[in-house]
Structure 1
Amino acid sequence: MELGLTGKVVLLTGGSGGIGRPLARSFGREGARVALSYLRRADAAKEVAASIEEAGGEALPVQLDLTDRQSIDSAVGQVVDRWGAIDILVVNASATGGPNPKPVGFEEISADTWLPLLRSEIEGAFHTVQSVLPTMKSGGWGRIVFMSASIVHRGRKGEEAYTASKAALHGLSRTLATELFTDNIFSNVVAPGPTVTEGLLGKLPDSLKERIADVTPEQAKRLLNEGMPHLRFSTVDDVNNTVLFLASAANGNITGNVINVDGGH
């Protein structure tokens, strides 16, 4: 399938780590021009950008702080100055990087935990979309993809703050889809379930960590599935391919949806 991503300009927030790294490279392989944002890990972002360029693509690392509107506008401005537009926005950056490996009870969640998370996830996404929309509208085409998590649909004890912040993205995306359809701008959410990444491996119980030390990602995936026989863990490619399609010209009529990539869990 031809995705039609060649020459499209992508702003991928949170492109320096986690699932953002392979996602940035996937866009690069499809011929997109990739702007990947980072907060503190400039070296990591530059490394990803260099790998895209070495493969013949174009990439630009930009610093972006989700809690600072000026920082967001500056990053967007750098991308537009470089390539003239932003066609695709993938809101992937997260204040936490995922669910808490050691969740606490709801009554124990402090405002110091709750409010910064909400501000980063919701306000950051809101302002990033606001900043990018003018260039999408002027180009008459755009694709927005919010990265969420399947935990929103299932819930998890002690994850009220994280789950609520991600659920808010679902409502934002659905409303944007309604408002922006006539501008040929689509908005969707991708909600991965447990996915075999370096980040996930670092959050596993010690009993599983011992079993997957010094093994390949494929071996780790098999071991993880043994530990949870009812669940098929996703691969990074499972998630990336979903994002690439939704962000592409091949997506001709899917907007306002939440796509779970979780093996039906």
Structure 2
Amino acid sequence: MDLGLLDKVVVVTGASRGIGRATALAFAAEGARVALTYRARRDAAEAAVAEIAAAGGHGLALRMDLSDPDTIAEAVAAVRDRWGGIDGLVANAVRWPDRLPDPDRHFEDVPVSEWTDLWRPNTEGMIALMQAALPAMRGRADGRIVLVSSDVARHRGPGHPGLGIYGAAKASISGLANGLIAELGGDILVNIVAPGLTVTEHNLAAMPQSARDAQIARTPTGRLSTPDDVARAIVFLCSAANGNITGDTVNVTGGI
């Protein structure tokens, strides 16, 4: 299937590792020109760009911090200056909690500052990104946006105690998407990809093997998703192969 991505300009935020990196490489493999953003891991982002270049592709590493709107605007401007505009935007960057959730800590004991430290970059930063990128996307054929959420935003079963702050921030993405699809209509298709527990560097470091084994035991496919699993769903939704899917959420969870 021709995904129609040759020479398209795609921005993937939070692309120095994990799902973002896999997604950037997948777009480049389809011939897209890919801008990868990073917050602190410049070497890792530039290594991904070098890998893209070695395969004959075009990549660009740019710093972007969700808590700093100026860096968001500067990254978008750099893409526009280099390639003229943006065809696809994958909003994958996320600010993680500073510590693992404590299942024994009561919801009402979480300081407000802990809420705002996580809420603001993951919600206000996402809004700032949309406001910066949309002027560079309007008027171009096959405009596509994918917002990366998490199954934590909707999960009601066991396995996610203490993640109320992060889950609330991710759930806000659905409201943002609803507003975007109403305004953008068929000009720019907007969808959400919600991964479950994915085998990324961050998750491997954060979760003990026993927790991962428990999650695998509950997953119908019998395995956790990989970054490539998530990347393939994102690339499809951002491609011309997606002709009329907008406002939907694709859950890459192995059926859990």
Q: TM-score over 0.5 for the alignment?
A: yes
Deviation at 1:100, TM superposition (A): 3.6
Q: How many residues align?
A: 249
Q: Matches of 1:196 and 1:262 in 2, distance apart?
A: 11
1:149 is matched by which residue type in structure 2?
S
1:122 aligns with 2:123: yes
Q: Return the alpha-carbon distance in structure 2 between the equivalents of residues 117 and 227 of structure 1.
A: 25
Q: SS at the partner of 1:240?
A: helix
Residues 99 and 162, structure 1, Cα contact 8 Å, conserved in 2: no
Residue 62 of structure 1 aligns with an amino acid whose one-letter code is L
1:229 maps to a residue whose letter is A
Per-residue deviation, 1:227: 6.4
Paired residue type of 1:132: A
Match of 1:31, as an amino acid?
A: G
Q: How big is the shift at 1:66?
A: 1.1
Verify: 1:197 aligned to 2:200, yes or no: yes
Structure 1 residues 56, 97: CA separation in 2 closer, same or farther (over 3 Å shift)? farther
Do the aligned partners of 1:174 and 1:257 also contact (CA within 8 Å) in 2?
A: no
User: Retained in 2: the 8 A contact 1:174–1:188?
Assistant: no
Verify the 8 A CA contact 1:99 1:159 in the aligned structure 2: no
What one-letter code is carried by the residue in structure 2 that aligns with 1:204?
M
- Percent identical pairs in the alignment equals 45
> 2:218 aligned with 1:235, yes or no?
no
Q: Give the alignment of 1:1-265 within 5 angstroms.
A: 1-96=1-96, 100=100, 102-103=102-103, 104-155=105-156, 156-182=160-186, 184-205=187-208, 207=210, 224=212, 228-231=216-219, 232=222, 233-265=224-256
Quote the offset at 1:111 in angstroms: 2.0
The residue matched to 2:191 in structure 1 has which SS? strand
Specify the code of the residue in structure 2 equivalent to 1:50: A
One-letter identity of the residue aligned with 1:82: R
The 3 A distance-change label for structure 1 pair 97 and 76 is farther
SS, match of residue 195 in structure 1: coil
4+ residue runs of structure 1 moved beyond 4 angstroms?
A: 224-227
- Displacement of 1:264 in angstroms is 1.6
Contact 2:143 2:189 in 1 (8 A): yes
The answer to whether the 8 Å contact 1:101/1:203 transfers is no
Deviates most, 79-88 or 62-71: 62-71
Letter paired with 2:218? H
For the residue of structure 2 that corresponds to 1:229, the secondary structure is helix
Q: What do the CA deviations read for 1:208-262 (whole angstroms, capped 9, x no partner)?
A: 7xxxxxxxxxxxxxxx557642213112222111000001111001001111111
Aligned counterparts of 1:172 and 1:149: Cα–Cα separation in 2: 15
Structure 2 CA distance for aligned equivalents of residues 74 and 247 of structure 1? 23
Per-residue deviation, residues 16-69 of structure 1 (Å, max 9, x unmatched):
122111111111111111100011111111111111111110000011111222
| Structure 2, gaps ≥5 residues long | none
Gaps in structure 1 of 5+ consecutive residues? 209-223
The two structures, once aligned, show a CA RMSD in angstroms of 1.9
With structure 1 as the length reference, what TM-score do the two structures score? Answer: 0.88
TM-score, normalised by the number of residues in structure 2: 0.91
